[in-house]
Amino acid sequence: MTGMSKYLGVAIGVIVIAGLIVVPMNFNRYGLFILSQWAVMTIAAMGLNLTLGYAGQVSLAQGAFVGIGAYAAAIMTTQGLPLIAALGVAIVLCFAIGWVLGYPALRVQHHYLAFVTLAFSTLAFLVFRNEDWLTKGIYGISNIPRPNIFGFATNRPLPFYYVCLSSLGIVSVAVVADTFALGPRLCGAARKSGPGTFARHRYPALHIDGFCDWFGAGRRGRHALCAADPIY
């Protein structure tokens, strides 16, 4: 990359970031809702890119883990727990379930891994949709309180959008840093190893993927309604 193209890329990035901050000030509630959803889903897509793009593993469980984190955050906050505690529960829950699922799933490759993760996504969707005592079924969990961050209320659409956008920025920086530090070594090993030996190489990539899932899910669980839509 030449010096001119590098500066051009930086300039375009600054313009895009400034636009994402300034332009939505003139949007209505629906436009801000769409942008907030975009920020949350981009976080989840970044996690999927680590698993599929860098590690080369076809995983279809992304929506399931986002749903687990979202419902965990929604349930905890509606019971009066603060945001930090709800995110802590989402972290532990997604990590634990991912570890249990990953132990057998990482012994297979390619379309077999896709089958395993697709089955898990289907199971998660059925639980979200049918277990009314936990997830309120088809009606979803409503009246989810919005957080106050350092005294900054986010109950209006624009401040909440800025929370989602800030979360996207934090995760983007973390993923880029981890990719440069660990990606070439760990993700390359995950691509080249066989089913019997590459499980230990996949775990770091999947753990970073899980970080993106629960981080994005925590923001999705802060919307006014958390309901189960088809996730695959």
> In the structure, what pLDDT confidence band is assigned to residue 117 with cuts at 50, 70 and 90?
confident
pLDDT of 19 reads: 94
- Of the spans 33-37, 58-62, 205-209, which averages the highest pLDDT? 33-37
**Are the C-beta atoms of residues 212 and 47 closer than 8 Å to each other?**
yes
> In the structure, what pLDDT confidence band is assigned to residue 230 with cuts at 50, 70 and 90?
low
d(CA 221, CA 223): 6
Least confident of 30-44, 113-127, 129-143, 211-225: 211-225
232 pLDDT higher than 50:
no
> In the structure, what pLDDT confidence band is assigned to residue 53 with cuts at 50, 70 and 90?
confident
18 pLDDT higher than 90:
yes
106 pLDDT higher than 80:
no
